Structure 1
Amino acid sequence: MGKASKGSRKGKKAWRANISTDDIDDFFEKQTRDAHAGAAAIPSLPSDSLFYVDKPAASTSATSASDTPTKAEIRLLLPDIPAKRKIEKKREKVLYHESLLKRNPFVQPIPSSVVGKKDKKKAKKELQEKHGEKSVPMEDDSAEKNLDIWAGDGNGDTKAKKRSTTSVIPAVEVEAPGCSFNPPFEAHQDALAQAVADERHKTLMKELGPTPVPLIVPGEAITEEDKFFLDADDGDEDVADDDGDQDADASVGQRKNKTKRVTRVEMNKRARRKERLRAEAEAKKMENISKEIDSLPNIIDAIAKEDEEKEKRRLRRTVVKEERLKSGPPRLGRHKFEPAPVQVLLTEEISGSLRKLKGCCNLVRDRYKSIEKRGILAPSKKISKRR
């Protein structure tokens, strides 16, 4: 047979195409065959591949330099460090700028890597294991327990119950004795006086309040002749304004031309005057400070009086607030609460008997006003029916 052709030598790609891979194919075939054979192929294997003889240190030192393992072999023999551990090792490193900041006790360095939730949990778990904190079972774990898979845990997301705020105002208020169907004379007069005072107060508040904007402005109609005169007056004023502006511009131009040059003597005078004023201000300031030091007891007394007045004002505001809460509810909506008028009979309406008493349907209105007064419902404005 003739020699096998060596192939083309045009370039490296052609050389790679002609490389023989027979030894690699034989290795893969042998590996597959050994895997399929399993334990039956063990007797046929040589003893060198099954056993390892540990040589003493003396014999290993006597070996030649060719038996020294390479870096790749050492890396294969060492256990692999997981990637997570490598990252943690890098995070534990203290950076150069952080080490510089640590030297200064007044500067708190910011860590370069923020500790995550998982790292915190892991550190907490390690700390518990270190201290030996173990949960001791209180019951026998071997006993079977009937667990409900649909039952929720004790600390679930249960909504908190809304508690209604207690009102100082009672649900049913007892009216004055003068509002009875057969009241005593003095109590009736007191109730009448209270009703009259409330009505008078409403009238005064309405009068003293801000005047509303009128829908129609009162005035007289302007005739045609007066309109012509008004137009003429406006034109004269415009002409006068233009003349005034021109005169002002001319005066400003003349003033600019008359600028005077400041000499060195004038500048020195200004500097000396400025220095003198500064010295006088400093002296006056020091004098005021010395006066304040001398009048320190008076200042302390004034501060004590001011604190006392503030405390009195605070107590007065607290009392007024409590009285306001007793008389009416807090502001809930846009409308203010208006108490119902006192239900008192006039002198001629007093009959002295329930049989002759004039009936009126105000029970629902009374209950509605009570609900508004206690702050349960926001007050509303009475809407009158339009016809």
Structure 2
Amino acid sequence: MSVVKKKKHVSKKNKKAWRKHCDINDVEEFLEDQRLEERLGKFDTKPDSELFVVDTQGDEHTKAKEKTADETAKVVAKPRSAKERKRLQLSQTPKCFEVLLPTSKVQDPNAKRNHVNPVGSKPTALSKINEKKRVETGKFQKKVEVARKNRKIALDKKRKTKAIRNTFDLDLWGQDLPEAKGIPETLCEEFVPTEAQLHNVPTQRRLRPKPPLPKTVVTRSAVDTPHPGISYNPSFKEHQELLQEVVQHEQKMMKREAHLLRVTNGMFRKVTQEQKENQWREEMSVGLPQPHNPANDPSDESDNEYKAVNPPVKNKKKDHKARRKQREQLEEKERLKRLKIDKKKITDLYKLRQLQSSIKKAESTQAEERTKRATKKTIEEATALPALSAHKTPKKEPDFVDPELLTGDLRKLRSTTNLLRDRFESLQRRGALAASKVMMKKKRKIKSYFKAGHKVTEKDIEKYTTRSTEKK
């Protein structure tokens, strides 16, 4: 059952407010239909001859016609050479430029657009005059000379690299010397430490190697493909699989919420106001002298006999018999304890094989778990995102389309997610952008005051009081 939301009455004074609070989905759908009609043409304006064909001869005639056409095509078609085939392809547009060709039937809104001649078209009268002027001024000649010069320089460079070295005066071990590293001769002494020598190396010849790229940037995972069940026309099996994933995710979230409720509010027992007051009174009256109650006074029950608060204790000593029995009990207890320990030793000897097998099994399981942890750690390190900020990357929530909203037509499908936000979070999850946190501004609590005046009526006062009570 769909819940009918109460309409909000919002001020639409500015353009921004109109854009924010006005629903323009119907207008966008109408414009989309209009653009589709512009591309394909309206069915109302087209004649019946374009839309329908009257078949007067039957299927057999059409099949015979197709056979004859195929036979003639086989007879006419001759095997062409590769040169002829390439020449025929010159007139066709390349596949890479087919995307740039217009597909719609909408006319160009800018009728006075500058026309650019394609490559290979005939030169115009104006282009011929411009070319003639360039030749006369010597611009073409200069360009040819520069190109020839550059070609010659490139060839000389190539020859130099290929030339065989005839002199063998290169010192292979001299690269480790300080002079080879760019350190000045004045500092090449044994009294000057290496740190001071490296500090005075010229800036253009610093001995600082370029750090390699981090593993996370090199082995970054590609964009995750969405689940096929999210499609506007998914199969039943894929849709059910996605539904199960969403259900498991929701159950996990509900379990977490229940746990948080149990360890926070559920820990404390509920107490009524009277019990709370009695408990507070008892706690506050601890240590204070209690009021005298004659009904509960024990002195009235006795026959005026004196009783000490702490009566005297008699020092009654044990005799020899009691001491002997006590000693025998302790000895018997110690004997039973020793007997139990000896019995346990014997049973442990019989259990040696079992203990050995259990230890081996525990060691093997621990080794397997260790290897699993190590492999998991290496995979995580290789595919981990770079720590671009202190915030954690947002986890992807499972997207799901209700079966009632599935249409099978991409035009009628209602978008449930924000595309811009989805792409932004995807870039954060892939490590291309630093993870950020949404910072919401706190709403100010506006206090309302009642301004008294001679024009204020009782109705105005009643309205103000009712409004203030509702807010509370």
TM-score by length of 1: 0.40
> Which structure has the larger Rg?
1
TM-score by length of 2: 0.34
Higher relative contact order (CA 8 A, sep 6+): 1
